[in-house]
A and B are shown apart, each in its own frame.
Chain A
Amino acid sequence: MSKFIERPRYLCTLGGAIATLKVLPRVIPIIHAAAGCGGNIANALHGASGYLGSGYCAGLALPSSNIYEKDIVFGGEERLTEQIATTLEVVDGDLYFVVTGCMVDIIGDDAVAVANRFHQEGKPVLGAETGGFKGNSYKGYDIVLSKLFTDFVEKNPVKKKNVVNLFGLVPIQDVFWKGNLNILKALLEKIGYEVNTFFGEGETLDNLKYAGAASLNIVVSDVYGIEPAKIFEEIHGVPYVIAPLPIGAAGTERFLRTVGEALGTKETIIEKVITEEKARYYSYIERLADVYNDLDFQRYSVVVADVNYAPAIARFLADDLGWLPELVMITDVLTDEEKQLVETRFQDFTSGIRPKLVFDTDTSNVSKHFNASWQKNNNDRYFDSFSPAFVLGSSLDRDFATSIGAPHLGVSYPLSNRVVLDRAYVGYRGALSLVEDIFGLLVGSR
């Protein structure tokens, strides 16, 4: 049985599926669901991810069967057939992907079979069951990717040694996904590989279609994209490596070594790239030497984020900035095995810092965990206060930051208090942006 969630930081399976399709180039989602599902999701995706906007064919332009009571009583397959046919007439796309909401899954409409009938007629239509009750947004991402890897990616027994695919960084849930993919792609290109990320800048559906020729899948997550990676391996014979999201010098170095090892890349190449990138990184970071040390810019901190970001940010704060991330709250719904795996990511910071890690889905609990881990001042004259402090989380965590008198930077979904375009936080380059944003807040409030 599942528990209620107070202010959840994700949508349902359908929400994640639509988000994933929305940002794939020229893919048109067709929603088979009650009318409000798409509208509600559109608002959440547009307004809570740094103002992403409606997009090419998303927002209120999403084709949707808008079934209601009568269709639910008599079945909605006929209505869906009509909707797919008319969508093919009106909406200009390269691939049409039917996704379903709770009601049609409950009444047993076979939307996938309807989509398949179009597919058999040579129309570029796919479908998957994504009823919201199956899980959260991340689940929708996994379902859609799995379906695309199974039915859209062309089989190719010949592998290209220098081509890799990269996924596991969930678009929109990672508000900075597009900028982040750019950076990871550039890094891997630098060590000699062509990269398909499917959702990245300048990519087309062909990057996905011909992804079967890759020699390795790099999953930038301990949890998300793993299921699709397994399916990819089964169908296309491409192995995968897990290389968690890297932010900053410490994390990115690990990332490059992990990937290099899996690919059998020459160590000298990896070392050369690390050396070059680090030199560039520190040529900028060096500028902070004065302000950091003159104004004492070391901070205690609290991180509230998903399972991809939380370890990456905490490691960056501890190992790159020399900060004291005392509390990290991971807000996803995870299994016990997943939690155990993620815990290990916090055990080997080079700084030796071990933040207190909690898994909790409820927003109000951030302050409870904080109070449990850092004692309140009971009117003591001499008191070790949590100060100076800094909070990195979603816009839902602004109130918590205010309550402990800390500045707040939005890094995780939902973000409705900042605009995000091509900003990125991963790698060496992204970390420089993160430093600009964090220290910008510190100097801005002087």
Chain B
Amino acid sequence: MDYIKDKAPPVREDRLRACNAYGGSCNNLVDQSKKGCLNGIKRTFSQTQGCQLNLSLAILNTIRDAVVIVHGPLGCGGANLSVAGINKNFQQLRDSNARGLLWVNTNMGESEVINGGENNLRDAILYAEKEFRPSAIIIVNSCVPAIIGDDIDSVVEGVQGEIQAKIVPVHCEGFKTKIMASAYDAVYHGILRNLIPDLDAEVKSKQDNKNQLEELQEKYRISRTVNVLNVSSMSRIDEYELVRLLKALELKLNILPCYAHPEDFLKATEASLNVSICATHDDYFVEHLKTKYNIPYVLRTIPIGVKYTNRWILDIAKFFGIEEAAERFIAQETKLLEEALVPYRELFKGKRVMIGGGEIRVVANAELLTYLGLEVVGMRAYHYDQFADEMLDEVREGDRVPFNVATGQPFEQANLIANLKPDLYVGHVGGNGWAGKQGIPVLPIFHQSNIFLGYTGVFEFARRLARVLKNPSFNRNLGENTKLPYFKNWYEKDAFSYIDEGNG
């Protein structure tokens, strides 16, 4: 894989044959995925969702000391308004001087649609530099400039010489892809092209400036350092847990890309291994770091729940040849954890649960819930691609549990909940409120204030779960007093009635 010379990465429909519309059993999904039959399935009724620009911003907005320029009409990136007051606190957990989210919209109007918006973009870049003196100016490109043919790369080239900040164009126009996760590739593409140094030049300058001892020390440090790639919806305490796990194996961590400073990416090549916590999130980045800089990677699983946390640690340990130490650590950790979980298990026994979220996380979460003694009765993932095949294949009773691939689409969820009647919904943002209105308890997962990863994450998850189950009155009252916007007969139809496989 080497797309870095191109201005924009390919979309996931093309690169990964990903799909965002499916309903059926887990086993059938894996079969179809392996045959490549999922690509292009559509819905004849659909509800709105995010686009790759929205999701790109979710990552890019976290970058410290940067200004984001949304090149498009006023509404594009408007969701920033809802995080503008909150994001600063999370940035300040990494740097107490962080300024929070700063953004500029190029405000393309009718005249720009006709005459082009390149001047607006240029003005916005110069303003961002002069007003904020940031380390990086990140440009996200929306639908309108893309369709009218604004050449943002030549604007960037023209203006880069005049300013200090590194300009990072990210091509993420929404209409190009149905797979919101294409955003991850668009963002990493921009980072790879603009924030990560050319390795040859860097090696040369290091040789010029360092003596032999320093060089050896540096080499040793790098040999014990891994890049751990975080996601924007995990918390600082999640990161501390991962640091704790790998520190036990005497490894050092660089944590990228979320909440990083633009300069932190200079260090991305100073590690001996890249470790992903979510293949869907990181495959584009780690593949390129391997191709260009010869840094190997671990991309297999996510450290959620005991089984996959163990697997995650062992995969890393194997690379460094320290499996024995890892096994000892895991044995000690799991023993402590299992003792701590004893008081909760009775409460969870036989509870039926539905799960929603990112594909890898949903499957890992199903494993976690099953481990805690609950019964998984349904899963929903934002999209599906080959990265979940191995994990989904391991789902117990995979021929029975329905799997719904849907970016949002709360109408399908409402139908599933009405018919499966789970005791609990566990979900990532977007579907939780709707589940709540159906009267069942909801446990939100992946949040910037909660821990979810590693062994500590398992315990905290159980603790929160027990709390939510202990008093579900709020949602029960909602369920009795609110109505979802669907006709009654929708709940009598098959939940996947509007998925049209004929278009596949």
Chain A residues packing against B (C-beta within 8 Å): 1-15, 28, 31, 34-44, 46-48, 53-54, 56-57, 59-69, 72, 82-83, 86-87, 89-93, 101-103, 106-107, 131-137, 364, 395-396, 398-399, 413-414, 416-417
| Contact indicator B175/A416 (Cβ below 8 Å) | no
| Contact indicator A46/B82 (Cβ below 8 Å) | yes
CB proximity of B416 to chain A, nearest CB, Å: 14
Within 8 A of A (CB), among B37-66: 43-54
CB proximity of A143 to chain B, nearest CB, Å: 14
Which A-chain residue is minimally distant from B53 (CB atoms)?
A36
| Contact indicator B76/A64 (Cβ below 8 Å) | no
Which A-chain residue is minimally distant from B131 (CB atoms)?
A364
CB proximity of B327 to chain A, nearest CB, Å: 44
Q: In whole angstroms, what is the CA distance A47 to B101 when docked? A: 15
Q: In whole angstroms, what is the CA distance A36 to B498 when docked? A: 20
Q: In whole angstroms, what is the CA distance A232 to B53 when docked? A: 39
A-B contact sample (5 more), CB < 8 A, given A46-B82, A53-B433, A57-B485 = A43-B78, A43-B82, A67-B175, A90-B487, A396-B84
Q: In whole angstroms, what is the CA distance A37 to B73 when docked? A: 11
- B394 near A: Cβ within 8 Å? no
Shortest 6 CB-CB contacts between residues of A and residues of B: A36-B51, A38-B48, A47-B82, A12-B75, A86-B45, A43-B79
| Contact indicator B176/A2 (Cβ below 8 Å) | no
- B159 near A: Cβ within 8 Å? no
| Contact indicator A36/B54 (Cβ below 8 Å) | yes
Chain B residues packing against A (C-beta within 8 Å): 43-54, 69, 72-86, 100, 102-113, 115, 119-120, 123-124, 127, 131-132, 143-144, 147-148, 174-178, 180, 407-411, 430-431, 433-434, 483-487, 490, 498
| Contact indicator A35/B174 (Cβ below 8 Å) | yes
| Contact indicator A39/B50 (Cβ below 8 Å) | yes
Which B-chain residue is minimally distant from A365 (CB atoms)?
B131
Q: Which of B147, B174, B178 has the largest count of A CB atoms less than 10 A from its CB? A: B174
Instruction: Give 22 CB contacts A-B under 8 Å.
Output: A2-B109, A2-B111, A7-B103, A11-B75, A11-B78, A35-B48, A35-B407, A36-B52, A36-B53, A36-B54, A38-B48, A39-B48, A41-B79, A43-B54, A54-B433, A61-B411, A102-B73, A131-B73, A132-B72, A395-B84, A416-B81, A416-B86
Task: Give which listed residue, A8, A40, A86, contacts B79 with CB less than 8 A.
Answer: A40
Which A-chain residue is minimally distant from B103 (CB atoms)?
A7
Which of chain A's residues have a CB closer than 8 A to the CB of B148?
106
| Contact indicator B111/A86 (Cβ below 8 Å) | no
| Contact indicator B430/A134 (Cβ below 8 Å) | no
CB proximity of A378 to chain B, nearest CB, Å: 24
| Contact indicator B485/A48 (Cβ below 8 Å) | no
Which of chain B's residues have a CB closer than 8 A to the CB of A87?
45
Which of chain A's residues have a CB closer than 8 A to the CB of B409?
60
| Contact indicator A15/B47 (Cβ below 8 Å) | no
Q: In whole angstroms, what is the CA distance A1 to B78 when docked? A: 21
Q: In whole angstroms, what is the CA distance A31 to B45 when docked? A: 12
Q: In whole angstroms, what is the CA distance A14 to B75 when docked? A: 8
CB proximity of B66 to chain A, nearest CB, Å: 14
| Contact indicator A93/B144 (Cβ below 8 Å) | no
Which of chain B's residues have a CB closer than 8 A to the CB of A93?
485
Which A-chain residue is minimally distant from B146 (CB atoms)?
A103
Task: Give which listed residue, B83, B107, B176, B430, contacts A69 with CB less than 8 A.
Answer: B176
| Contact indicator B112/A2 (Cβ below 8 Å) | yes
Which of chain A's residues have a CB closer than 8 A to the CB of B113?
102, 106, 133
Task: Give which listed residue, A4, A31, A90, contacts B48 with CB less than 8 A.
Answer: A31
